Chain A
Amino acid sequence: MSAHINHVVVVLQQVSLEEVPAKKLRLTKPSKSAALHIDLCKATSPTDALQYLLSFARRPVEAESVEGVVRILLEHYYKESDNSVRLKIASLLGLLSKTQGFAPDCIVDDAINTLNNEKSHQVLAQLLGTLLIIGTQLPDKIAVVQRLIDVACKHLSSTYFGVRNKCLQLLGCLGTVDKPLSKETDAGPGAQTSHVRDVQSVISDYFQDQDPRVRTAAIKAMLQLHERGMKIQQTIYNQACKLLSDDYEQVRSAAVQMVWVLSQLYPESIVPIPSSNEEIRLVDDSFGKICHMVSDGSWVVRVQAAKLLGSMHQVSPHFLEQTLDKKLMSDLRRKRTAHERAKELYASGEFSSGRRWADDAPKEKVDTSGVNLIDSGACGAFVHGLEDEMYEVRISAVEALCSLAQSSPSFAEKCLDFLVDMFNDEIEEVRLQSIHVLRQISTHITLREDQLDTVLAVLEDSSRDIREALHELLCYTNVSTKDLAVPVCSSLSSIPRCSTPDPGAADYIAVLVLVFNAAKSCPTMPALFSDHTFRHYAYLRDSLSHLVPHLRLPGRKQTASSGLEASGVGSGSLESAQNFLQDSLVRVSALQNLETPGAQDLLEFTIRDLLRLGELQTELAGSADFCATYLHCQLLLTKALQEKLWTMAVPLCLKQNAKVSTAARQILDETYKLEFLYSGLETQQIATIHNIRLQAKALQLILTARSKPGVDRVLGACEKFLQDVESFQRLFMTELPHFQDSFVEKLLELMPRLTTCKPLDLVKILQTTLRQSGFIHLKLPEQIHRASATIIEPTGESDNPLKFTTGLVVALDIDATLEHVQDPQTSVKVQVLYPDGQSHIIHPKPGDFRTPGPGRVRLITQVYLSHSAWTEACQIEVRLLLAYSSSSSKQSASKPAWNESMGGLPTSESCIESTIHLSKPVKVFIMPKPARR
């Protein structure tokens, strides 16, 4: 009690002390807080006050004036008698303390004080919520956090559920992490605080609360503790399991999560099975329990349970296999030794399957003393999940199956039947998902004949996505038995007769791929091939070489031998090509000065060689192209610098100027391509690219200065350039040691001078630095891929113009494959170029991008065309673009590790949206006709 009084006194003092700064603030920032103060004083009724508060809440408050506003609010809080207004004030306090740059330490005491005199439960709950926000803002202030926890513990005994909820939430978010860890070793440290028991046991007391909302909050708080890295004690397990049979779905839903968390924490500890003296691994026990929840009454819980099952990889295989058999009871739980016997017992059919006529007459009772728990245990969980009423449950069950099957080949084999059955689901998403899943586990499975029938039947599905997913699946599938050749071959001969050419052809190719892969392991198959199959083989081996294996075809000596030759050369040549690439780079790097005669020739030859190499060796295409482009930039730069114009007088060299400025622009373009088109780059390469880009920019700057002597313009350009240099320094601080003798290094050395000198001096300095700086050698990273795109449709060969009426739109279907494009949803755009030079850029919807396989993306979209009337049909160009922003947003997104070195860099600064051509243009013939009348 005395402590309490002391507390109040201290707080009173604080309040009186803080009156002064509050007033001062009011003077400095009269607009915000004073206005609020006046408003609140004016308010005659609670409704008025609420209105003022609401409108106040809509405007942001600056960090400096937050404290003043809080004081005013608190002042009114104590005066206010209406609950709703106090509630609003309390929530405002919370909002305000979230203001960026405001440290809420100073209002903690006041906020806690308000709790003491509060009578209304709702307001109390809101105040605790505010404290929670304050607490989460100050996670490292131990004393504050400790006080908040004490407050929460005090109010836990409230009769109102909301207050208890908030208290538990607070405990969950702030409960100290270190205590229970030390508690396991000795109980000492817990005693120093006001409550002897640790947070976990306090929270777990509320697992049995009378209010379901509080029970939920308690479990959530516990989960929150876990998320914050606190080790949950195993004793919670039993309590959590009891909550699985709670009457309320939100409690069960939280409890499922809790049980799952514990199963991940203590998979190997042993728990007893109730009503028997056997014991079982905890992960198995919890697996059984979560399986049980797959047939819960609430679909939300079912979805959750199904999802969580997928992540329980440690479960024992025989429990896992039970999930696919409805009839095999959980007898295993009790008699593990006798589990084979039990299996026979059920295989012998105590229950009938309903599949055959008249087999459901009860058979003679087989020893039923070995109690069978029909509805507990893992038994049949996935069977239930896969035929659930809600497709959300089915999808999560399919996903869970996938993830479990990926880690257990034997389970994959068993669940195959079920997945194949899902190909017949009524909802397309489910069908699609199960096809994808089958592809993901394709390494573990081999399709049986009957399953293949079902799978092949899907080839006739009317949905394009499904057919394509299936093609992808067939590419990966092992078809084991030799007999399979026959049905596949027969379906092969039937399919080409499909009337519609396009999907039919795609299907046909998919089947061919399948057949060729099968034929690889089955030498008798080629004999069954018809003539056109051989012809198509040659074609496909060429066009889809990554999917079609090399075959030894009888009577086809020529192709076979040449194929063999090619593949032999291929494997050897990869290494030699790599060596070649390295050699050329070494050769180039031997060049010290590009101005020496012959150096440029060497560069040109090397570029040519590299380009050729890229064409020949697809694996190295990315690296080779990358190097070639880089060298090309260097070459351009060197040439530009060797132009005569530098020695000429300014007015005489306009023509030369044009040449050099083109080179500069070209280098810039190339550098953007280098940076954004290639994936797999490391920081060093990016820095190198930036270096050459800076050189190009310097070149431009010099040209501007020479050609247009207006100082203003040059001044702006100089500033821009200096900013670029600075940002380079900021971004590539760690890489600077690699830039000995480079342009950038020299610039940075001169930086203090540059910032102070006049623009024209700066230009001069730049000019000399450019000419003096050396050539930076490129170090190749492991793997570089060039982003590329091919438009499959439209093909650009059609002579029939697409006719439409002026003023209306026509939809053009676009189908394209993208390879190695990072984050295609945001970066890939479609450009339509009309003959009159009009260009439209269209952003495809994120849903239009599909990912059939790793590294590959398929864009299927529609673009709308419209134009005013033309006299005759004309071609428009359609191409794909890669959008980028020159401020390094790309790197920050794709390279989290690198991000650290950047610190809090504002990314939106100088965000020049620009684009790179990603695909070759495709011409489409269109004809806008004038509208009749």
Chain B
Amino acid sequence: MPDIKVTPLGAGQDVGRSCILVSIGGKNIMLDCGMHMGYNDDRRFPDFSYITQNGRLTEFLDCVIISHFHLDHCGALPYMSEMVGYDGPIYMTHPTKAICPILLEDFRKITVDKKGETNFFTSQMIKDCMKKVVPLNLHQTVQVDEELEIKAYYAGHVLGAAMVQIKVGSESVVYTGDYNMTPDRHLGAAWIDKCRPDLLISESTYATTIRDSKRCRERDFLKKVHETVERGGKVLIPVFALGRAQELCILLETFWERMNLKAPIYFSTGLTEKANHYYKLFITWTNQKIRKTFVQRNMFEFKHIKAFDRSYADNPGPMVVFATPGMLHAGQSLLIFKKWAGNEKNMVIMPGYCVQGTVGHKILNGQKKLEMEGRATVIIGTLDVKLQVEYMSFSAHADAKGIMQLIRMAEPRNMLLVHGEAKKMEFLKDKIEQEFSISCYMPANGETTSIVTNPSVPVDISLNLLKREMALGGPLPDAKRPRTMHGTLIMKDNSLRLVSPEQALKELGLSEHQLRFTCRVQLHDPHSDNDTLGRIYTHLKSVLKTYSIQHVPDGTVIVESIVIKVTSSAEEPNLKVILLSWSYQDEELGSFLSTLLKKGLPS
């Protein structure tokens, strides 16, 4: 049986370094090529030696597809293509192609320039790698080669995020990447048509969460910010440069506009300006409101949000600051946090997930005293956390209900979960199997799952045969019901054809043979042979109303191709022997008749 093989190199029962290998119809595809935030050693990249021990990957992979620009989905790309070696096509959407090199360069700078690592990819490598990228449009079917085609669907999550359908022949796989089923302030909801793939590979970050209405969270967020600003406090919102940051900016911007507030909002990073530029450009990828109003005003041209300068942190009066990074583990956000932590009027709002060990994680767990280490000099002091700490999940991943909704939209035959924690996946897996009665898999990294498919085999059917069959068939509304038909399958020169038996005989130069079954049925009947036959005739006539039944004068009854004769020996005139003979084609009817006659005739 043909099958689809899936092997996660990363993101199998884990979040981070998404990299999934799929073999479908003899094609090998790599889905995403990300890095892991939690590691600084070799484990941060997927283990490409799984594919081949030595040499380049080009000959083993038909294509690489990147779903969106987050580093855990594209961070290992230059490493794979330039350092390991891959020259094939890399597919990603236009916004991803535009923004991804910025993030990669940023990542490289931090690793090489700040941490001083060597043996890392260089700027030139990023550029070379991006040269191999083939951009995709939404809903555009791209033919990778003659057999393999891919198509992108809108996924929400971040600007340019896409779900990809991979199709070889009639087998297909859909990879969701990260997606969001509820729209937010700048992006729409993920959407896919009813493509009924053999396998749907879905992320499952929020496998055990069903989120409340998004509006409650927005209201709470705005209320908290507003209150703090009203009483003269400062609000710190640690974010990562791209994605949530833009959403929250729009949220605050419109709120400020609406309420005519004057307190300044700052955004602290150089990277964002470049990225905002792309947000302004890729309007078609945003949500309805932004798409419809950008002619009057592009929502990403913020009026109230200005660039942050380090000195502003000490300004008196209320302000709102977006600062990177999002988990308060380093950089500007931590710096500002330290300055503002002592005042109970201030507030920090954590809009997303925080990894264990970061300051963000600590304060979210209610720690009131933090031990701080200064950079370079080892000054250890404690910091009292007096400001208010709020958590508000603005994560743009689908929740359990969203995942279910996507499954319902696409109607896959099998399901495979990646990009989530094993325990939570387990839970969702049960739910999916219960709900949709389809099998669901959740392989760990390096573990291969193979899914048996049942691809349909295309066969050419001769028009004459089809027309003949149509003529026989009933009215059209039955067209959807399966119907059996007789024909001869000719497999020749790598092609399959279904033709009528006569034509097949003619083509192959064979003469026709007939296969007939005969059967004797013994029956006690006191009448003469002819009368018995007559009675059989009337009996059959009453049973088989829709068939043509003939009573031929030479002492036979003919039902379609079935011949029935009655004989009796001289010794026992009452014991009639009924001879039945039918052709192979009428096997069904013949066996029915024989059993019918065995039961005897009605008196």
Interface residues of A (CB under 8 A from B): 156-159, 164, 205-206, 208-210, 247, 295, 297, 326-327, 350-358, 360-362, 365, 368, 371-375, 380, 383, 386-391, 417-418, 421-422, 424-427, 453-454, 457, 460-463
Minimum CB–CB distance from B485 to chain A (whole Å) comes to 17
In contact, A460 and B477 (Cβ under 8 angstroms): no
Residues on A with beta carbons closer than 8 Å to the beta carbon of B209 = 351-354, 360
- Complex Cα–Cα for A359 and B177 (A): 25
- Residue B430 interfacial (CB < 8 Å): yes
Known contacts A351-B400, A380-B401: A387-B214 contact under CB 8 Å: yes
- Residue B217 interfacial (CB < 8 Å): yes
In contact, B364 and A205 (Cβ under 8 angstroms): no
In contact, B212 and A297 (Cβ under 8 angstroms): no
In B187-213, which residues have CB < 8 Å from any A CB? Answer: 188-189, 191-194, 206, 208-213
Known contacts A247-B194, A389-B287: A355-B212 contact under CB 8 Å: yes
Interface residues of B (CB under 8 A from A): 182-183, 185, 188-189, 191-194, 206, 208-219, 222-223, 226, 254, 257-260, 287-289, 350, 364-365, 391-393, 395, 399-401, 404-405, 408-409, 423-424, 426-427, 430-431, 434-435, 475-477, 479-480
Instruction: Supply 6 further A-B pairs (C-beta < 8 A) apart from A205-B477, A357-B350, A457-B259.
Output: A209-B477, A350-B208, A353-B212, A389-B183, A389-B189, A426-B289
Least CB separation from A363: chain B residue: B208
Residues on B with beta carbons closer than 8 Å to the beta carbon of A417 = 216
Residues on B with beta carbons closer than 8 Å to the beta carbon of A457 = 226, 259
- With contacts defined as CB atoms under 8 Å apart, how many contacts are there between chain A and chain B in the complex? 143
- Complex Cα–Cα for A350 and B216 (A): 20
Residues on B with beta carbons closer than 8 Å to the beta carbon of A158 = 476
Residues on B with beta carbons closer than 8 Å to the beta carbon of A164 = 476
- Complex Cα–Cα for A920 and B35 (A): 76
Q: Taking each of B192, B216, B350, which has the highest tally of chain A beta carbons within 10 Å of its own beta carbon?
A: B216
Least CB separation from A431: chain B residue: B258
Main secondary structure of the interface of A (DSSP, over half): loop
- Complex Cα–Cα for A388 and B289 (A): 12
In contact, B477 and A354 (Cβ under 8 angstroms): no
Option from A208, A327, A454 in Cβ contact (under 8 Å) with B219: A454
Q: Taking each of B191, B219, B479, which has the highest tally of chain A beta carbons within 10 Å of its own beta carbon?
A: B219
Option from A156, A355, A375 in Cβ contact (under 8 Å) with B408: A375
- Complex Cα–Cα for A350 and B207 (A): 11
In contact, B480 and A210 (Cβ under 8 angstroms): yes
Residues on A with beta carbons closer than 8 Å to the beta carbon of B392 = 355
Minimum CB–CB distance from B256 to chain A (whole Å) comes to 10
Option from B208, B211, B215, B365 in Cβ contact (under 8 Å) with A422: B215
Residues on A with beta carbons closer than 8 Å to the beta carbon of B423 = 361-362
In contact, B260 and A462 (Cβ under 8 angstroms): yes
Least CB separation from A297: chain B residue: B409
In contact, A297 and B194 (Cβ under 8 angstroms): yes
Option from A157, A375, A424, A462 in Cβ contact (under 8 Å) with B215: A424
Residues on A with beta carbons closer than 8 Å to the beta carbon of B287 = 389
Residues on A with beta carbons closer than 8 Å to the beta carbon of B364 = 357-358
Least CB separation from B186: chain A residue: A426
Top 5 nearest A-B pairs by Cβ distance? A389-B183, A421-B215, A357-B391, A351-B210, A354-B211
Residues on B with beta carbons closer than 8 Å to the beta carbon of A156 = 475-476
- Complex Cα–Cα for A453 and B211 (A): 24
Least CB separation from A450: chain B residue: B223
Minimum CB–CB distance from B262 to chain A (whole Å) comes to 12
Residues on B with beta carbons closer than 8 Å to the beta carbon of A389 = 183, 188-189, 287-288
- Complex Cα–Cα for A292 and B295 (A): 35
Residues on A with beta carbons closer than 8 Å to the beta carbon of B217 = 355
Residues on B with beta carbons closer than 8 Å to the beta carbon of A368 = 430, 434
Minimum CB–CB distance from B78 to chain A (whole Å) comes to 34
In contact, B479 and A210 (Cβ under 8 angstroms): yes
Option from A371, A375, A391 in Cβ contact (under 8 Å) with B404: A375
Known contacts A375-B435, A389-B287: A326-B477 contact under CB 8 Å: no
In contact, B213 and A208 (Cβ under 8 angstroms): no
Minimum CB–CB distance from B296 to chain A (whole Å) comes to 13
Residues on B with beta carbons closer than 8 Å to the beta carbon of A463 = 258
- Complex Cα–Cα for A327 and B404 (A): 13
Known contacts A362-B424, A426-B289: A208-B477 contact under CB 8 Å: yes
Least CB separation from B403: chain A residue: A374
- Complex Cα–Cα for A209 and B481 (A): 10
Residues on B with beta carbons closer than 8 Å to the beta carbon of A383 = 212-213
Minimum CB–CB distance from B286 to chain A (whole Å) comes to 11
In contact, A159 and B476 (Cβ under 8 angstroms): yes
Minimum CB–CB distance from A459 to chain B (whole Å) comes to 10
Known contacts A354-B212, A357-B391: A461-B259 contact under CB 8 Å: yes
Known contacts A157-B476, A421-B219: A388-B183 contact under CB 8 Å: yes
Least CB separation from A205: chain B residue: B477
Provide a sorted-by-A list of 12 A–B residue pairs whose CB atoms are within 8 angstroms: A297-B194, A326-B210, A326-B213, A351-B208, A355-B393, A374-B435, A380-B401, A387-B214, A421-B219, A426-B254, A460-B259, A461-B259
In contact, A374 and B401 (Cβ under 8 angstroms): yes
Known contacts A295-B405, A357-B391, A391-B289: A426-B399 contact under CB 8 Å: no
- Complex Cα–Cα for A399 and B360 (A): 42
Minimum CB–CB distance from A572 to chain B (whole Å) comes to 48
- Complex Cα–Cα for A371 and B434 (A): 8
Residues on A with beta carbons closer than 8 Å to the beta carbon of B258 = 460-463
Residues on B with beta carbons closer than 8 Å to the beta carbon of A209 = 476-477, 479
- Complex Cα–Cα for A588 and B254 (A): 65
Option from B219, B222, B401 in Cβ contact (under 8 Å) with A375: B401
Option from A206, A388, A453 in Cβ contact (under 8 Å) with B223: A453
In contact, B288 and A424 (Cβ under 8 angstroms): no
In contact, A374 and B400 (Cβ under 8 angstroms): yes
Minimum CB–CB distance from A154 to chain B (whole Å) comes to 11
Least CB separation from A376: chain B residue: B435
Residues on A with beta carbons closer than 8 Å to the beta carbon of B254 = 426
Residues on B with beta carbons closer than 8 Å to the beta carbon of A454 = 219, 223
Residues on A with beta carbons closer than 8 Å to the beta carbon of B194 = 247, 297
Minimum CB–CB distance from B205 to chain A (whole Å) comes to 10
In contact, B427 and A206 (Cβ under 8 angstroms): no
Known contacts A297-B194, A354-B393, A357-B391: A387-B213 contact under CB 8 Å: yes
Least CB separation from B220: chain A residue: A355
Minimum CB–CB distance from A774 to chain B (whole Å) comes to 67
- Complex Cα–Cα for A353 and B477 (A): 48
Residues on A with beta carbons closer than 8 Å to the beta carbon of B219 = 421, 424, 454
Minimum CB–CB distance from A241 to chain B (whole Å) comes to 16
Option from A157, A375, A426, A462 in Cβ contact (under 8 Å) with B475: A157
Residues on A with beta carbons closer than 8 Å to the beta carbon of B393 = 354-355
Residues on B with beta carbons closer than 8 Å to the beta carbon of A327 = 210
Q: Taking each of A158, A247, A357, which has the highest tally of chain B beta carbons within 10 Å of its own beta carbon?
A: A357
- Complex Cα–Cα for A157 and B470 (A): 12
Minimum CB–CB distance from B468 to chain A (whole Å) comes to 15
Residues on B with beta carbons closer than 8 Å to the beta carbon of A205 = 477
Residues on A with beta carbons closer than 8 Å to the beta carbon of B391 = 356-357
Residues on B with beta carbons closer than 8 Å to the beta carbon of A352 = 208-210
Residues on A with beta carbons closer than 8 Å to the beta carbon of B475 = 156-157
- Complex Cα–Cα for A365 and B479 (A): 47
In contact, B215 and A206 (Cβ under 8 angstroms): no
Least CB separation from B364: chain A residue: A357
Residues on A with beta carbons closer than 8 Å to the beta carbon of B427 = 362, 365
- Complex Cα–Cα for A386 and B213 (A): 9
Least CB separation from A466: chain B residue: B258
In contact, A426 and B185 (Cβ under 8 angstroms): yes
- Complex Cα–Cα for A422 and B215 (A): 7
Residues on A with beta carbons closer than 8 Å to the beta carbon of B400 = 351, 374
- Complex Cα–Cα for A372 and B435 (A): 8
